[in-house]
Chains A and B, each alone.
Chain A
Amino acid sequence: MAGPAAPPPRPASRRGPSAFLLAVALAWTAAVLCYGFVWGADPYELRFARPSERLADHPYPAQVVPRLVSVAAHGGADMVILGASTAMGYTPNMMRQAFTDVSRPANLAYACASAEDFGVLLPRLEQSKTLKRVLINLDVSLITPCVGNKSDFDPRYFASNWLDPAPEFNLQSVELSQRVLRTGVLDLDAWRPLPDDKVSWITTDPPVTAKPDYLARVRRNVALARGRATRGAPLPCSSMPRLKTTIAPFIRTMAARGVKVDLLAPPLSLAIYSEWTVSWTPFTAPPFPSVMALQRCLLQMTAGLPNVRFDSFDTDPAIVGDLRLYRDTGHVGDVETYRQILRRIAAGQAQVTLDEWPQHQAALQREVDAFSP
């Protein structure tokens, strides 16, 4: 039963620290100093607001985006896009070209953005005094757990935890800190090579129609789901409490300040409801009624507010019915389509009102039921 005996102690006698220990201690000390530097410099403004710091005018790597909100809020951004993967394809250039009244736009959309995330991010964004426009993309990840992708949002960045005071620390953040202090711009050389209109996997993958196996599966799923893809009882808004407690109050606050808010139904392809019906689904309730409930509920909650619009392209078959424009059934991949969507929103050509909603939903339902890829 007895375990092995405890080992004898090492001899105490030593002349002094070895070269090994000195090298390690030096590196350790340097790392501690770097940690303190990053904490103080706070490149993402997680702890201190610094109005002199601003975002660079190009798309950021996906994993960095959730951390940009404070710099956007304090650094003079006048338009932001909030949302998840279906909004990641918009670039600052596209935004500026479509909305002529904005000069410093930022896309803060990242994969799997959830309503819980918004509970952390929106209060920070509310601190902005320069916002003129906000576009909120109503991705399904606002009401479902994200399956298949990993969110880049981590609440540890925003938790004021004295046991982890500089959660962003790594060697890259050291370089970022000194760049921010020197130039006032949150930027790294490593982030710049992204071509302006080629953002991450969204707009760099080939379209659905260039993937024969995938297209065959989509066709099979649409055939299998025929007559079922849009079925299911309507969901009550009470099943999505975060919309009421987090997103709607933010919209009201922004609208009251005169900020123009666009709520965008993401242009999902007509095939996706069949995919969700047959192949896999992120929803616990039937997919089509879930998506409709998300959109209808926010439309109801914000109806009548000045400066707030609801925009949808769901009944435009030239977009949602054309799989050549999609990298998969959920995500537009075509850069020109992203530009067109923003242009049409800016021109007020995609608006749906609460009164028009029943016809809008019925039209979409008919298109989904009749869709053949």
Chain B
Amino acid sequence: MLFVEPFFLLIFLPAAVGVFYAARRFGGAVAALAVIVAASAVFYAPYGPLPAALLAASLVINLVIGVLLVDVVTGERLRRALLAGGLIVDFANLATFKYLDQVAALAHVSRPILDVAIPAGISFYTFHQAVFLVHAYNRQEAVQRFLSGARTLAGRAATLIKYAAFVAFFPQLVIGPITYMSEFGPQVERPDFARLRLRNLEVGAVLVIVGLFKKIVIADGLAAVIDPIYREIERGTPVSAEQALLAIIGYFFQLYFDFSGYSDMALGIAQLFGLRLPQNFDSPLRATGIVDFYRRWHMTLTRVIVVFVFTPLSLWGTRRAVDRGLRGWRGRLLSAWIPLVLNFQIIALWHAAKYTFVAFGLVHGVWYVIETEVRRSKAFRRFAQRTSERLRTICGILVAVVPLTLTFALFRSANLHNFWTLLRSLAGRFQPSEQNPGAIDPWVWPAVALTAVIVYALPNIYEILRDEDPAIRTFDNRSITAPALRLRWRPTLIWGLAVVVLLVVALSKINLPSPFLYGGF
């Protein structure tokens, strides 16, 4: 199922929420969690039996290893081997079902080896559970408490239900956000878990409807005008400079509104169940640089990669640099630059094994290194002392926006050649060519400009809902919204009508909705 399908929004979701609260009232917390698991199974069923079987097997294996790590196995070597075994199973599963055929295609193997669609959500639930295993290995308090009931038969069943709800909770199952046990576990263990609070329904409804609007109206609206341009390039038809410019700028906004729309809906749906998930986006297109961008874009992936890839690599590099007495740039090379570039390669390849993603990761990695070094330099510190933060913010956005936009277009392009064609088209004729007469409708550029106003001037939904604490903060970012525009949501009729307008506009545009872009990863 997709969040934007009318049946999901209008029938499935209200029914699941209603049954959930009824189960809590008449059956207790575990019954409510069982409803979440059952609803998640129904939600995931349309993806097919193979993905469902893989998910179920992955759940059981990871839970068993988690229990062994926390409670049963005491020898350190054996525990380490168990952790390694669990992670190998997780990533082997991911490698087999996601990357095997992609790598075969890169190697020009004539036929796919497995020839199956990538199981929905596999990238997300693999990382989700890999983090869980590491936390179990470290005997993190939240994990220990979560698994503490697994000593009796009934306790084991309850733990399995709780764990299945943690991993397969349908708002976050297919496209995240990647949640830690320390965030989810305590919420479902509270005595007042799943007690109906009207404010949860209100905040959830705001997030769901705003996310729906972002996806259906803005992202899909942009897709309708830019997808044909990318298709023309794939077909080898020349495109005009205006079309190329629209394709590049349009995708910059489309990807953001598509993915953040999903995340808003995921957090909103979780709110309807009284649960808070970690925030995944925080106005990333207003980033003042690549460092700032990754504190605002797909934040739950960033924090996982930072903790599990960058930090160990950086520590290893730093130790090697110290051992060898390397200083200056040689020391930085080992302790920061190489770990950063590798870090971004992993982020890029997490999406798919494609040369465009390799290039995307390389550009972002090198950019991150350069920006980090610039910000450490004395010249930049002097500049920072002499200038206002506001000026630095504006300068940062202006500097960052062009490479960000171009690398998004690289991300969208089918291959490097097509990206190069797109860039070359920018230097060509501005007007549509006769062989590709697809003239751009007069309303398109004003609509793109309006989208830019939404991105750069208006507060994001988490700012608007700031009094309600709608999400777990993953990074603390400073808002740059002008104080006069920092709207604040209130449960009033005016806000109700405003949200209803967004809902009506979205429902008028909904028409066999297209899948979310990140659903393909």
Contacts and interface: CB of A to CB of B under 8 A. Distances in A.
A24 B501 CA distance: 10
Nearest to A23: B496
A318 interface: no
Nearest to A275: B435
Contacts of B500: 23-24, 26-27
Contacts of B135: 1-2
A163 B42 contact: yes
The 6 closest A-B CB pairs, nearest first, are A23-B496, A3-B180, A211-B434, A18-B491, A213-B434, A214-B434
Given A19-B491, A20-B495, A35-B11, A14 B6 contact: no
Interface in A24-71: 24, 26-28, 31-32, 35
A233 interface: no
B209 A163 contact: no
24 contacts: A1-B307, A2-B182, A4-B278, A4-B472, A4-B473, A6-B184, A6-B186, A7-B469, A7-B472, A18-B491, A20-B495, A21-B198, A23-B496, A24-B209, A28-B503, A31-B6, A31-B9, A31-B10, A163-B42, A168-B512, A170-B507, A171-B508, A212-B434, A217-B435
B457 interface: no
B140 A1 contact: yes
B192 interface: yes
B496 A22 contact: yes
A31 B10 CA distance: 7
Contact of B200 (A10, A171, A217): A10
B499 to A, nearest CB: 6
Contacts of B71: none
B496 A172 contact: no
Interface in B229-288: 231-232, 234-237, 274, 276, 278
Interface in B469-514: 469, 472-474, 490-493, 495-497, 499-500, 503-504, 507-512
Given A9-B192, A10-B197, A148-B232, A1 B138 contact: yes
Classify the secondary structure of A's interface with B: loop
A21 B497 CA distance: 10
A172 B509 CA distance: 9
B7 A150 contact: no
Interface in B128-147: 134-135, 138, 140-142
Contacts of A20: 202, 490-493, 495-496, 499
A146 to B, nearest CB: 10
A250 interface: no
Contacts of B496: 18-24
Interface of A: 1-7, 9-10, 12, 14, 16-24, 26-28, 31-32, 35, 147-150, 154, 156-157, 161, 163-172, 205, 211-215, 217, 279-280
Contact of A148 (B11, B235, B307, B507): B235
B235 A6 contact: no
Nearest to A212: B434
A12 B134 contact: no
A116 to B, nearest CB: 17
Given A5-B186, A205-B437, A163 B202 contact: no
B433 interface: yes
B227 interface: yes
A234 B10 CA distance: 54
Contacts of B427: none
B79 interface: no
Nearest to B495: A20
Contacts of A16: 198
A3 B183 contact: yes
Given A6-B184, A156-B512, A214 B435 contact: yes
Contacts of A23: 493, 496-497, 499-500
B85 interface: no
B491 A150 contact: no
A332 to B, nearest CB: 16
B351 interface: no
A28 B199 contact: no
A228 to B, nearest CB: 18
Contact of B507 (A22, A31, A150, A154): A31
Contacts of A217: 435
A279 B236 contact: yes
A166 B7 contact: yes
Contact of A18 (B182, B198, B231, B497): B198
A233 B503 CA distance: 57
A140 to B, nearest CB: 14
Given A4-B472, A19-B492, 8 more contacts: A7-B276, A12-B192, A18-B491, A28-B205, A31-B6, A163-B45, A169-B7, A215-B434
Contacts of B1: 163-164
Nearest to A164: B7
A324 to B, nearest CB: 15
Contacts of A171: 504, 507-508
Nearest to B2: A164
Contacts of A14: 197-199
A26 B512 CA distance: 24
